Structure 1
Amino acid sequence: MTVVTSSIAPPEGVFVPVPTFFKSSPVPPALQAPLDIEAQIQHSIHLAKNGIRGLVLLGSTGEAIHLSREERFELISGVRKGLTEAGFLDYPIMAGVLTNSVDEALEWLADAERAGAQWGLVLAPGYFGAAANQENLQEWYTLVADSSPIPILIYNYPGVTNNIIVSLETYTKLAAHPKIVGCKMSHGNVSHHVQVSLDPTIDHSKFRVFSGFGQQLGPIVLFGAAGVIDGLAAIYPRTVSRLFDLAAKRPVTPEALSEIQLLQFAVSRAEEMVGKWGIVGIKEGIYQVLKIGNLQGGRLPLKGRMPKGEWESWSVAMDAMKKLEEV
């Protein structure tokens, strides 16, 4: 299924980097458990119904590197079909592109467009991260964007790319490309988020800045960022979305600021679990709170669940989030 797109920026708001759901056990002769498309669709519809502005499928949290080309297409097309049948026509979907080759990145993007994604979230090529200078990064992204069938966002995640940091100057130059429509910064440098969000030489209606951390939501959105692509929102979508809505509204009244501070504290505290446990923790939370999926974790080497009693040890933070989610 193909969704007609143009080079427009993704909408502002909270996106969720959804984990990929797998069945509990392999079906011989397969060595690993297959995709659980039914659970994937169930979770996606829940998010769409509860304030989430869009999905990131097959990003880092989605374990795209653990899936085959056929599985990646099946997942995107399955979610697109499920959302459409549930009444969420043209619901925003970004597809992760986690490969270092220009040609292979374009292959991923072509598949994503054919499956129904409107944007590609393209990871900085980091295998030779220590040797990658900013000029080469700019050329790499320009080559990909020039030939991509869908608009792309720059994905800077130093933790999985040998500590590549996309420079402020690189963002400014690439933001001028008509098919590069935003970025996701998955690092703790709030100054970079704010500087790119406020750069007067960038057209911010066409280039949107997202953080990968809900801990930064309030601070960066108050200073012009477009939103977050946040893992905790996979568990508590209404609360994280409420925090965004308050932070994005202008003017910010004293009453709204008080609620922003309350929500940001609760979100940041709960994000500590996501920071510690990553994909395994997000999947555990989805199962414990939403009863979707299972406790098998991801694919090797991410298979397994939290140790016994670990989820319960986060009860203060998670109980607070649960109460906020029910308001």
Structure 2
Amino acid sequence: MAGHTNGVNGVAGSRVLKPGIYAPIPTFFVPDTEDLDLESFAAHVVRLAKANVRPLIAGSMGEGIHLTHSERAVLIKTARKALDDAGLPDVPVIAGTGTGSTRETIELCHEAAAAGADYVIVITSGYFAGALTRDALKAYFVEVAEKSSLPVIVYNYPGASGGIDLDSDLITELAEQCPNLCGVKLTCGNVGKLTRICATVSEQSFVDLYPRKNPNAPFLVLGGFADFIVPSAFANGHGAIIGLANVAPYTCARLFELSAAALSDRAVLAEAQRLQGIVARGDFTIAKASISGTKFLLEKLYGYGGLPRKPLPPIKSEAAQALWEHQHVRDLVQIERELSGKL
């Protein structure tokens, strides 16, 4: 089946942005050369999509900061073709496009659209963090949203943005004033902030008063860690974008499904809480091993993963073995194998 074609501003033919679990897909590299390993990348995108986990390309886990403009475009095109060829043409592709300057960020947004992305996610520019006032930060996202040819997700990640942490008031203001914004990812891990934002944007009054430019792109509030998916659901959040979904896609998707179902059926809440505990412990342990640890686990589980791009170092062998043998990881792998039918 042929892939859809994005139209002006991503409206015509764009795929629907839905609540759920999204994974920042790692970028895999050929050993020695560090060229893109597109075969492993395509296989991984499809593997996760079949587990109901949607892809985010060239994000933090994808080492977007280590990629050239042309490599980003190749990855987007590869993901789109892989999904279409696998009979998954309705799965959207989100691309990371945030960079140092407003100008280059907008350029990357246009390039992502041309390559076949449906949405973009833009991290706060943090190199000159000390000079960026609240007004400057707001102006950055307003201009990017106005000029991007695709709907934009705000990416709040203080650890990769010079410590800049957008507050709930600013994010809510941006959501109200920028109809081309379609969500926020909170890798600050602040559940209170998520609750405050959802108290505005998850209400029907917000939908009525502040319609989106693209009707297929509602404003979603997404967590950036896997350890508060259940609390997020009960705060009227919309899921998460999480690196853990690369390692345990069926588990993370099931946890979201149970969390959403528990809102109307308390009989499934206990199972959602049990699964949340396994996921939270696994996420806490694996996140400390960063990108190299995730790639090591993918190598162990699926036969591909490899190394990050230099200067990011690989995980040390002792640390890798300890990670694999850690009880939190073993518990997560066990439940993933059960849910994926591997046992």
Asked if Structure 1 and Structure 2 have the same fold, meaning a TM-score greater than 0.5 normalized by the shorter chain, the answer is: yes
Q: Distance in 2 between matches of 1:230 and 1:251?
A: 22
Q: Distance in 2 between matches of 1:109 and 1:128?
A: 21
Q: Displacement of 1:156 after TM fit? A: 0.6
Matched, 1:186 2:187: yes
Q: Distance in 2 between matches of 1:133 and 1:274?
A: 34
| Corresponding residue to 2:274 among 262, 282, 306 | 262
Q: Displacement of 1:270 after TM fit? A: 0.5
Matched, 1:78 2:78: yes
- How many residues are paired up? 317
Which residue is 2:324 aligned to? 312
Q: Distance in 2 between matches of 1:270 and 1:160?
A: 22
Q: Distance in 1 between matches of 2:184 and 2:72?
A: 22
Matched, 1:11 2:18: yes
Which residue is 1:118 aligned to? 118
Greater displacement, 1-10 / 76-85: 1-10
Deviations 1:238-281 (A, max 9, x none): 11111101111254434311101110100011112232111111
Quickly say closer, same or farther: Cα 1:213–1:57, change in 2 above 3 A.
Answer: same
| Corresponding residue to 1:293 among 295, 298, 305 | 305
Matched, 1:156 2:159: no
Which residue is 1:322 aligned to? 333
Q: Distance in 2 between matches of 1:51 and 1:145?
A: 28
Which residue is 2:167 aligned to? 167
Alignment check: 8 A CA contact 2:15 2:118 kept = no
SS at match of 1:183: strand
* Aligned pairs for 1:16-95 within 5 A: 16-26=23-33, 33-52=34-53, 54-95=54-95
| Corresponding residue to 2:253 among 232, 241, 244 | 241
- RMSD (Å), alpha carbons: 1.9
TM-score (norm 2): 0.88
Q: Displacement of 1:300 after TM fit? A: 1.0
Paired letter, 2:265: T
Q: Distance in 1 between matches of 2:325 and 2:288?
A: 13
Which residue is 1:30 aligned to? none
For structure 2, the residue ranges without an aligned partner over 5 or more in a row are 211-216
Q: Displacement of 1:43 after TM fit? A: 0.4
TM-score (norm 1): 0.92
Q: Distance in 1 between matches of 2:274 and 2:62?
A: 30
Which residue is 1:133 aligned to? 133
Quickly say closer, same or farther: Cα 1:24–1:257, change in 2 above 3 A.
Answer: same
Q: Distance in 2 between matches of 1:188 and 1:120?
A: 21
Q: Displacement of 1:90 after TM fit? A: 3.4
Q: Distance in 1 between matches of 2:39 and 2:324?
A: 28
Paired letter, 1:229: I
Alignment check: 8 A CA contact 2:15 2:92 kept = no
Paired letter, 1:19: P
Q: Distance in 2 between matches of 1:311 and 1:288?
A: 11
* Moved beyond 6 Å, runs of 4+: none
Quickly say closer, same or farther: Cα 1:163–1:249, change in 2 above 3 A.
Answer: same
Q: Distance in 1 between matches of 2:313 and 2:128?
A: 27
- In terms of fraction of residues, the more helix-rich structure is 2
For structure 1, the residue ranges without an aligned partner over 5 or more in a row are 27-32
* Aligned pairs for 1:207-286 within 5 A: 207-249=219-261, 251-286=263-298
Greater displacement, 195-204 / 13-22: 195-204
* Aligned pairs for 1:194-209 within 5 A: 194-199=195-200, 200=203, 202-203=206-207, 206-209=218-221
Quickly say closer, same or farther: Cα 1:274–1:318, change in 2 above 3 A.
Answer: closer
Q: Distance in 2 between matches of 1:208 and 1:280?
A: 29
Paired letter, 2:308: G
Q: Displacement of 1:322 after TM fit? A: 2.4
Q: Displacement of 1:133 after TM fit? A: 1.9
Alignment check: 8 A CA contact 1:211 1:229 kept = yes
SS at match of 2:183: strand
Which residue is 1:29 aligned to? none
Which residue is 2:214 aligned to? none
Greater displacement, 123-132 / 304-313: 304-313
Q: Distance in 2 between matches of 1:40 and 1:56?
A: 12
